[in-house]
Structure 1
Amino acid sequence: MKEGVNPIRILHVDDDPGLAELVSSYLEKESSQFEVISVRSASDGLEKLATTDVDCIVSDYDMPRQNGIEFLENVRDKHTDLPFILFTAKGSEDVASDAISAGVTDYLQKGVGTDQYTLLANRIRNVVNKWRAEREAEQTKRRLEAITKNSSDAILTIDSTNTIEFVNQATEDLFGYDVDTLRGNSLSMLMPERYQEGHRSGMERFLATNERSLDWTSIEFSAQHQAGHEVPVSISFSTFKEDGERKFVGVLRDISERVRMEEELREREERFRQMAENIQEMVWMTDPVEGEVLYVNPAYEDIWGRSPQDLYDNPQSFANAIHPEDQERVKKILDPQSTGSYEEEYRITRPDGEVRWVYDRAVPVKNNAGEVYRTVGIASDITERKDRERKFNRAVELRDQTERIADVGGWELNPETGDIFWSDHLFELIGWESNREPSLDDIVNIFVEEDRPGVKDAVKKALTESESFAIEARFQRSEKRNRWMEVRGAPQTEDGDVVRLQGAVHDITERKEREQALHALYDITSDPELSFDQKVQNLLRLGRKELETEYGTLSSIHGNEYVFEFVDTDDDSIQPGDVVPVAATNCELVASSRQTVVIGDVERDAPEETSRIGFTEWGVSSYIGAPVFDTNDVYGTFCFYDTEAQVDRFTAWEKTLVDLMSNWVSVELRRKQTTERLQNQNEQLGQFASIVSHDLRNPLNVAMGRLKLIQEDCDSEHVDAVIRSHQRMQDLIDDLLALAQVGEQKGELELVDLAGVTSSCWETISTTNATLQTNCNRSIMADESRLQQLLENLISNAIEHSGNDVTVTVGELDDGFYVEDNGVGIPETGRESVFEPGYSTTQDGTGFGLHIVDQVVKAHGWDIQVTTGPQGGARFEITNVEYSTE
């Protein structure tokens, strides 16, 4: 058999062996396509047919037990269309008729000669080819029926008149028409009206010319649904002939979902484009394999200072713009071979030389094979953020430095969570040694037990009533020494609720100790019952007490401790530099056998200023002393030694206190013979004012200057709070200095125009919208500068307590004058306390203003009382005043 030829298997049934063999030989000789299987009877043929596939049966008629017709009938029971040729020598019409009735495929009478086998071979070939064609057509038909029946696509055929001949079930599902309605109707019923004329003319042109105006594959257009809406479809056409007539078959697919997704994708792409084209961040996409820039939005030009086209033309320019100090680090992640995601901050240099910071992040995009084929990213200009961070860090550094300079620590409490924040300096200030963050109970418990209720109440009131507070409380550090702290708190509210409580803590130990010492100093120096010697002794005892509070007993210059001696140098045998027993000095204040160093012949040298001399003997590193006079002679020196081991612990307060006392001693002795007691006291207080001004104003000015720098870079309510605290300290210093200058003294009395002094005071005070009325025409005997202090404080007090629009009236009394306002007045229960030092009803008040007023009144010998004015405001009446008789 030739390769590629489809074989034909023939079952030959004949009871004559010789004839059967002859037929087989001739048939196989006629065509190598033939394969003949020979059997001797009909029963053998049926048995062979049951196990073997054949394409044709050739059977004799006359055979024992079962003839050819009977054999045919048995074959047709199972094989209705299998080709069957009756090849018989009996050629009667009856046989032929019976064979046709039994379903024979062909009938051939045996003849003489070999031509009959050629004829038989042709007959076999023809019937088999026809049978095969019909069977294939039937199979194709069944396949098509299955396809059309089960296809989700609509399939239809139309004739040349545009009439629908066939539709499948999917057509009904797609268009809403039932199958019977569509058959026999025009295809135009499935088209929107705008397409119908074009379809008609196109079909006519094709039938006439056989030329197509468009590709018939996957044409997309909108079809018309029975309900009236349009359905997007994709249709493919083909043509065929049937019975000589040109017909068409079409396959339509519903693409509604695809169209919807494409439309959604287009909308997304448009939204992305609108976003990418208008956002400030640079959006980019690259091909990491080819190193190409596929997309960059216009923000690239705003940030990099170069056009997107420049980047498309030269992708390397992106990396070249990176700041030289950042290039090595960043180029590694920008390498086209690097396919990982990244987030990086780096600097770029624009063509104009400007340096900017960018925050760049990118992610890889993979294809279906899992390969990275795109990198997309977004880069933001963070230059301003970096500047803010730098300024913020600077502000934090300055804030921390300011806290240390001002010795103030900050804190914040979240009432909802109970979380507490402490600034670093507050940890140092409090001496908190635990690794954990402190709780609210921890904070309360650091104070001494008797001060805890006050702290708790202040915090509770701030949280429940939104009231700010400023309290003083003591706490005990690890060295077992109580320290004074001023604790301030200010609630922050939202919608009437306290959301956080913020405040500051200031170590005021030195201030409290200084206040106590100054009070004691004031009591000693102003006590008229004490003699000069008693005052000197009491001052020395006060100094010894103050300097022993923290560092132990003052006993020896040899034991790393202080020595505080009063050296009598009346003995001519004692020379400068001598070391003599204390007993040899006849010093009443030292009752021991200690030795002391004689500094110099004070009777001969008689230094009038405090001496500061350095020594190396005995470990003495510094000496502070002042000469002490008795009448006209110097008889001793008030001395203070600081040993080398203690020099770092010798605080500014201690030095100030010693200076204050030693200066006072020398001044007191000097003034004893030349001035009145009150004038001596005034000079001493002047010295005190100078010290306060120097020791408090200078560091305060430094702190306020630092805060101004912080305020330029950082807008924070904490800075404002510290500024207010500094201003509060400034006010206190001003009032303390005023108080020190006033005392209970006055200068020379003179006639003073009361109305004129009042007007001068009004011009020096910040009165804003306040109003002054004067109802006085006479002059009084007074120290003009002290009277001006009195009026300034009374007017300021009225404005401070009654508001900027208050009216202040100064008028005459029979034996004095009054100052009144139309404000809220002073409750009767508080009138006894208003002149006490430190008393104030406002948070910003120092409490010294009215005390100064009281001191000026007493210095002049006048009287003062507080009443209520005609308009309900405060009224201060100063009486026992001497008016001019002129």
Structure 2
Amino acid sequence: MPIRGGDELSVFYVDGDADGGSRVATSLERHDRLSVATAASADAALDRLTADVDCIVSDYELPGRDGIEFLEAVREEYPDLPFILFTAGGSEAVASDAISAGVTDYLQRDTGTEQYAALADRIVDAVEASRTRRQRRRHHTAIETAQEGISIVGADGRFQYVNDAYAELYGYDPDELLGEDWELLYPDSEVEFVRSELIPAVEAEGYWHGRTTGRRADGTTFLEDHVVSTTENSELICTVRNISGREAREQKLTRLHAATRDLIEATTVEEIATLATDAADDILDFPLNGIHRYDEAVDGLVPVSVSDSSRELLGEPPVLTDGLAWETFERGEPQVYADVREAEGVLNPDTPVRSEILLPLDDHGIFIASSTERDAFDDADVTFAKLLAANVTSALDRTAHARKLELLQERTQTLMNTSSVDATADIAVTAAHEILGADLSTFHGFVERDGQQRLEPVATTDTVDEVLDSTPEYVRSETADPVTALVWEVFDDGEPVSIHDTNEYPEFVDTTPARSAILYPIADRGVFVVTSTTPGAFSETDTKLTDILASTLRAALERVDRESLLRERTAELEAQNERLERFASIVSHDLRNPLQVAEGSLELACEGDDEGADGDTTVDDHLDNVRWALDRMDGLIEELLTLARDGDRIDDLESVDLAALSETCWRSVATAEATLVTRVDRRIRADRSRLEQLLENLFRNAVEHGGDGVTVTVGDLEDRAGFYVADDGPGIPGDERSQIFESGYSTSADGTGFGLSIVHEIVAAHDWEITVTDGADGGTRFEITGLTVAE
């Protein structure tokens, strides 16, 4: 399984006993940094051995070649690869032979399980030590090939390292100076200056450059150009040059340091490249020079800044995808050619270029300095070129990291202003592509549908559609493929997973085009998949940036949820306010008429105006008018309160017998001589109280418009999940049907205009649909569909 944070180590275990080899491999893989492949013989291991292996662990007794012969074969091809002999069949003689053959470590196998933990620790220690040695060797190689003298002075004031040039300046061998105090190389008067001025300046500024007087082993002195800088461990790095008679080089170095300050202040790749090529031309006297930047999109070295002289001699520079420059960039080691025409791998043997310095700028690109003369560059030229290249590399490192941070800050600000999940996820995967070069990135959101749990793609980079036929979705299953299983593991565990190279895991080979990945869980929302088609694409810095981006994505999604809920609640409040405004408006308007009728009729009745004998209005007539007005107001108030109080709110659904409820509602309506017919045998899921309001309003509407003898029918819709309420009254004209559900609309002089509006709101609150059409016997038929039929 992939490691969780940190660097994974690839181990090759070789054992002639297949069962034993499997047991050891399984035990070692319990260590969270080790991934183990096995082989049953030395020859099988050699056939599969590549530079990607971090350590070999081998038994001594192997079929064919024994462990020592295997070690010797490995050392011929990989002299620095850690090799641990882990055997039960060893002896002092075997141990001696192993040491002579260059074994890294020797461990006697026993029967206890503790030995595997010890072996795992030995492997980690061996690999880390090997890496440290390689790093130091690279640094020392660069230092030792430099023209100037270079030393490292520890915090205790003693030399930790000196190169040959440094020791030679003072008349010593390098070994004679190691461990000695730096004061050995300076006269007393100069020691005081170094203590009181030079060292305090370095401690304050981190850097000092000037002239000091050095003392040789024979007591003579000389004037030296001295550059001192400090490390984070309080070590002093000293660069010394004998400047007697070398003023020209002193001036060149001074100008180069000045150019370095400009490089440090540069903010773009183009600006850095231009400053570097200008410095190479003006300061180092390299008129033919240029800087090419590695571009992943073309997998080549693209010219960024090339001197005018180079363009005049060679024409427009091409993108370099092979040849000496490309090979140098891939190897990561400087190359100096006295005559490139004689070099193996030169693309154009007739090139006008003869001498050439090729200096890799780490993974940023390459610096090229050329000459039309053979053997044009001496050691000093190479040293100055390396200094310039090192400064350019540092500037590019800083710019790359600063640009990533700037982009991350921009995308973070954008993420905090999105309004939807889709937009938020899209910005995150786009940022992963832009900032981290993660060309196959996605955000998969968690959903549960049709009884299955899925991680479905919410947003993807454009490259996904170009590389894959379709964006995958990950369905939870016990028989899921390895990729799907890993994504679900990350989601369930809530811990990110990093994969350096999918080809290091047999289960992933040929299952995904991704070669490196960072899988990041986003709480219970889903998984942020940051992947690249390039192995080892993500550095430790990239992992930290991914952590920031994923955390921001999670916060943004939570914010979107909160704001969405707030918008819903705001809409509910606005709807409630609208209902209250309608209520107030209608109360103030529609209640006024029946109230005036009641007041006037009551006043006449109190005056005793009774002229019934001759056919005029009687007191009883006036009181009948009062009663009508009061009934009218009572109906208005009841329906208006229903609208104002409930609106579109729906409580819990339950199974309702539609026929029985229809009978109950019919008894609640003043139906006079009207007749109810029920032709339903279904139970439906509904809010019983609101469904009762719906039926009462439809029944009241039928009676009010159809007259005392109207027949109302409630029946099932045979072809759909629904029911109808129909009457045999006069019906509704076609041109009025679009208005009948509007609040306040009524064709009856006694109607409030709210009965059918209430019906419409109850239907909408259930997510049903209502349509109006002609009844089978004339009249009006309301059809309500989209119901859920209860068992």
- The TM-score by the shorter chain falls in which range? under 0.3
Q: Which has the larger radius of gyration?
A: 1
Higher relative contact order (CA 8 A, sep 6+): 2
